[in-house]
Amino acid sequence: MGHYRSEGLFKEIQAFGELMRARAKTVSDNYWSATTYKNNTAYAWDVYFFNGNVNNNNKTSVSYYARCVRGKLIFSLLR
């Protein structure tokens, strides 16, 4: 996997956040992704829908929104 894979995943999650902000009426707040942070499995990636920033936070100590999406549909639009 290595650094290249992490960087690609980061860009994909960030693009997902930008797409969701543009296409949906969404509360401008943090939303969990379904992706665990590789360097610490107690953490997961999240997207701040106000500006598209991507971070990772502890899965159990932070409360963020969750949103159901159809991954194949969304990610096919990014390619």
* pTM recorded for the entire structure: 0.56
Residue 9 pLDDT grade (very low, low, confident, very high; cuts 50, 70, 90)? confident
Q: What does the DSSP assignment read for 22-50?
A: HHS---SSEEEEEEEPTT-TTEEEEEETT
The answer to whether the CB of 36 falls within 8 A of the CB of 4 is no
Residue 2 pLDDT grade (very low, low, confident, very high; cuts 50, 70, 90)? very low
- Contacts of 4-7 spanning 24+ positions with Cβ under 8 A: 6/38
